[in-house]
Amino acid sequence: MDSPSPTVRTRRDRCPGALRPWPADDGLLVRLRLVGGRLPLRSLLALAAVADEYGDGRIHVTGRANVQLRALPGRDGRLPPEALRAVEGTGLLPSRTHELVRNIMVSPRTGPRRDRPSEGGRADLRPLASALDELLCADPRRADLPGRFLFVLDDGRGDLLERSCDLGLVALDRNTAQLRVGGGWGPLTPLDEAAAALVHLADAFLARRGDGPTAPWHVAELPSPLADPAPPDPRLPDPAPPLPHGPLPGGGRHVPVSESGLDRSTAEALAAEALTAGSDELVVTPWRGVIVPGGEQ
């Protein structure tokens, strides 16, 4: 993975959130970050109700496995207080100060199936993703990370290996991963120390990027490497293709979400399907779909 040429910025990033909506032609657009794409059913249903009452009636998904609401009301680029309270009531805005920096993409199928070779995952990265999210939100300085700064965690199946990122890792086995730093490889690290290693690098990026409208948004835009480069470990997986839509091995299915999004009745039907399978969440994928659990998990 070669580093791209440095980019010269001329403005601050304007990645949208709930407190910094994007003024689109149809109204305000709000993006809500999902760590690893995990979307609790309670939040899904609450979000569908908010979309119905204040927006275009649909939940939209993004290529970073997040969700968006469109056509929301507001003045001067801000949601009215009642709409913001409704968005917060979904549980998808756990931090007002750090909402824009909770950009953590994770292999969507990471989890207990890691012991089954046919599934490809080498480690369950859900605890690591949660720990990383907590650390990001624990320090006020980390709220200064750009809204486009992205962490990508591949559980060893290779499904996110070719996703560009600022910082990330690829699991080599249950206990070890190799870090990704900008467009290159970093050191090996124990998985139970990986969250701390990633935020340490994020802090180093903040210390070196400076401030103002010309400050870099991405690690690869720094004038010199953030960490000493390392060779790729021979245990790294080959890149895997995107998860196909349709039934999944072991149960469940990957449901495509069109550009028009999910309406309330579809969201309710998917939630009921997941609940019947004994799950309390869906997983939004980077391939503009949702994984609905089913069968053996």
CA–CA separation, 11 vs 216, rounded Å? 10
Domain shared by 130 and 201, yes or no: yes
Q: What angle do CA 146, 66, 49 make, to 5 degrees?
A: 125
Tens digits of residue pLDDT in 193-245: 999 999 999 999 999 999 888 899 999 999 999 999 999 999 999 999 999 99
Find all residues with CB under 8 Å of 213, minimum gap 6, and list them: 9, 10, 11, 12
Does the global pTM surpass 0.75?
yes
- The whole domain housing 110 covers 100-221
Q: Which amino acid is at 264?
A: R
Structure tokens at 234: 């021979």
Using the 3D structure, point to which of 171, 206, 221 is the last residue of a domain. 221
Domain shared by 205 and 264, yes or no: no
In angstroms, what is the C-alpha Rg of the chain? 19
In a domain, 293, yes or no: yes
Domain shared by 44 and 121, yes or no: no
In a domain, 24, yes or no: yes
Domain shared by 275 and 180, yes or no: no
Query: Residue 136 sits in a domain of what CATH number?
Result: 3.30.413.10
pLDDT category at 167 given cuts 50, 70, 90 is very high
Query: Residue 40 sits in a domain of what CATH number?
Result: 3.90.480.10
Domain shared by 135 and 179, yes or no: yes
Domain shared by 140 and 208, yes or no: yes
Residue 85, SS3? helix
In a domain, 1, yes or no: no
Mean pLDDT across 270-297: 91
pLDDT of residue 115: 42
Domain count, the chain: 2
Tens digits of residue pLDDT in 106-132: 999 998 753 444 466 999 999 999 999
pLDDT of residue 114: 39
